[in-house]
Structure 1
Amino acid sequence: MTEIDIDREPPKVAVVTGAGSGIGRAVALELARAGWSVALAGRRTEALEETARLAREDAGGLEGAAVLEGAPALPVRTDVTRPEDVAALFRAVRQRFGRVDLLFNNAGGFGPAVPLDELSYEDWRSVVDTNLTGAFLCAQAAFRLMKEQDPRGGRIINNGSISAHTPRPRSVAYTATKHAVTGLTKSLSLDGRAYGIACGQIDIGNAATEMTARMRTGTLQADGSLAPEPVMDAADVARTVLHMASLPLEANVQFATVMATAMPYIGRG
């Protein structure tokens, strides 16, 4: 059994939303491997438990991984569109870990890829509530805790998208919310300065997840054609998030773009 240095600084604490699969799971596991304690938020309990199991395995061999009592990953079933769920998530984090050093605001959805005039109000609201309102609620709760804790401060990283810059066809709700996330990032960066709270954004293009599975067989292009697109490993995104998260609070990656090298973005359309 590895001896634990009682003078060792306790692990930093992260909250990852959408942690049950895809980019959220990849980031949570990368943070666990780096020695972070991670609160896993998402709507599917079984998926969160699986991420927690993988995180425990990844962190099991780390020196000092047991500094905090219990497992290094805390699954908390959370619907980010519900203020009461978000409040309960951050209460659980505070009770278990005492603080939060990082929020990775990742939960999101694309919505149906239909012509603009066929998009229902309910589908529009679902995407806006998850991608934008959910990101705001989580950022607000993290901001409050970071502002009050001692030592004060922390970091928020928002998952933007290539679509925060350039839309795909039939993506009006997703594109509008991701443009809005950029505004959220900038406002958080400004309002957080006085409290040692840094905020950055990672814009991701074609990470290989369930959400992007269709890109390998063919996805709609700006000229109306269907074409397969290159994808990249979600682990490459996770390593970038870890780099952003590991910087001292005096430094910040404001915006980072990580994309499959040959995807049709530069010159898209």
Structure 2
Amino acid sequence: MSSAASASSVPRTRFAGRTALVTGGGSGLGRAIALAFAAEGANVVIAGRTEGTLKETVGLIEDAGGTAVAVTADVSRSAELAALVEAAVERFGSLDVAVNNAGVLRAGQPLAELPEEDWRTMLDINVTGVLLALQAEVKQMRTQPGGGAIVNISSNLGAHLSLPGTTGYGATKAAVSALTKGAAAEHMGDGVRINAVSPGSSDTSMSLRQGESLAQRTERMKTSSPLGRVSSTAEVAAAVLYLASDESASVVGADLVIDGGAAA
């Protein structure tokens, strides 16, 4: 067996005995992140608004030998986030990692035509949801001897890149990047490390244009991305796990862009 094969077969247990909370974990990037934490030994709490998809993620984790529970919660409601954190601690004894991934995209129109309802929806979920989640998570983590680590999922759009038709979405994600940096500075003294990952187009339905097939997206990305493709969900999840792990113990307030060079 080659040394590379041997290394890849060694079980990774960076999060053994730790509890990781992932919002928006019922599908897409959130599901990939939840599966990645479970594969490295974490007890995973998966949160979102749709019970059916949350249970599907739990089933995938359990089928792979991991441990997970699903909790329905609306991140725009502070009481539901407080109950979510309480449920995680009651079930597993602590909250060691939180990934604030829940988000929505309303795009395709210039700012002057962006419906107010779409703007308010993105503001509620993408910005207020992250703010309220941070408050609930920090409140718990700073009571723990080991503190905790939080990773917010932002975007390359907003703080790093502008594209026509995405201005409103970019504004909400720029706010996430700003919340991350400010909260990181304010709460590192509480033993809570806060960072962000800002993905570009990744292998999820969110990167598909209206009516576009996977094959059509593949062709489009060959010329629209410097790397020539979308990022895999595993690549983004790996960045999240790094920022949540002890390997990044001195990384605070970072905003790691994973977008194939689009914002370079």
The answer to whether the aligner puts 1:139 opposite 2:145 as a matched pair is: no
Q: What CA distance in whole angstroms lies between the structure 2 residues aligned with 1:239 and 1:29? A: 11
Q: CA deviation at 1:116?
A: 1.4
CA contact (8 A) 1:206 1:231 kept: yes
Listed one character per residue, the Cα deviations across residues 160-200 of structure 1 (whole Å, up to 9, x for unaligned) are: 11113112111122111111111111111111122111011
Alignment of 1:1-269 (within 5 A): 11-60=17-66, 72-149=67-144, 151-163=145-157, 164-214=159-209, 217=216, 230-247=229-246, 250-252=249-251, 254-260=254-260, 264-266=262-264
CA displacement at 1:250 relative to structure 2 = 3.7
**Contact 2:23/2:101, CA 8 A, preserved across alignment:** yes
128-137 vs 205-214, greater mean Cα deviation? 205-214
Alpha-carbon deviations, 1:84-106, whole Å to 9, x = none? Answer: 21121111112111211111011
Question: Structure 1: 5+ residue runs without aligned partners?
Answer: 1-8, 61-71, 222-226
In structure 2, relative to structure 1, the CA distance for the partners of 1:90 and 1:48 (3 Å cut) is same
- What CA distance in whole angstroms lies between the structure 1 residues aligned with 2:81 and 2:118? 22
**Counterpart code for 1:157:** V
The alpha-carbon deviation at position 58 of structure 1 amounts to 2.3
Q: Give the equivalent residue in structure 2 for 1:67.
A: none
Determine the C-alpha separation between the residues in 1 that align with 2:77 and 2:192: 24
The normalised TM-score by structure 1 is 0.82
Unaligned stretches of 5+ residues in structure 2: 1-14
CA offsets 1:225-245 (integer angstroms, 9 cap, x no match): xx7652121111111211221
CA RMSD of the aligned region, Å?
2.2
Q: CA deviation at 1:112?
A: 3.5
Asked if the contact 1:27/1:241 (under 8 Å) is kept, the reply is yes
SS at match of 1:59: coil
Residues 111-130 of structure 1, C-alpha deviations (whole Å, 9 max, x = no match)? 14212111121111100110
Q: Give TM-score scaled by structure 2 length.
A: 0.84
Deviations 1:31-89 (Å, cap 9, x if unpaired)?
000000111011110100000011112235xxxxxxxxxxx211001111112211211
SS of corresponding position for 1:16: strand
2:232 & 2:217 partners in 1: Cα distance?
A: 18
Q: Amino acid of the residue matched to residue 149 of structure 2?
A: R
Q: Percent identity?
A: 38
What is the letter of the counterpart of residue 51 of structure 2? T
Between 133-142 and 250-259, the greater mean CA deviation after superposition: 250-259
- 2:230 match: secondary structure: coil
CA contact (8 A) 1:218 1:228 kept: no
Question: How many angstroms apart in 2 are the aligned matches of 1:188 and 1:99?
Answer: 21
Structure 1 equivalent of residue 8 of structure 2: none
Residue pair 2:177, 2:255 contacting (<8 A) in 1 also: no
Shift of 1:152: 4.0
1:216-263 per-position Cα deviation (integer Å, ceiling 9, x unaligned): 5369x9xxxxx76521211111112112211257422622121235xx
Report how many residues are paired: 238
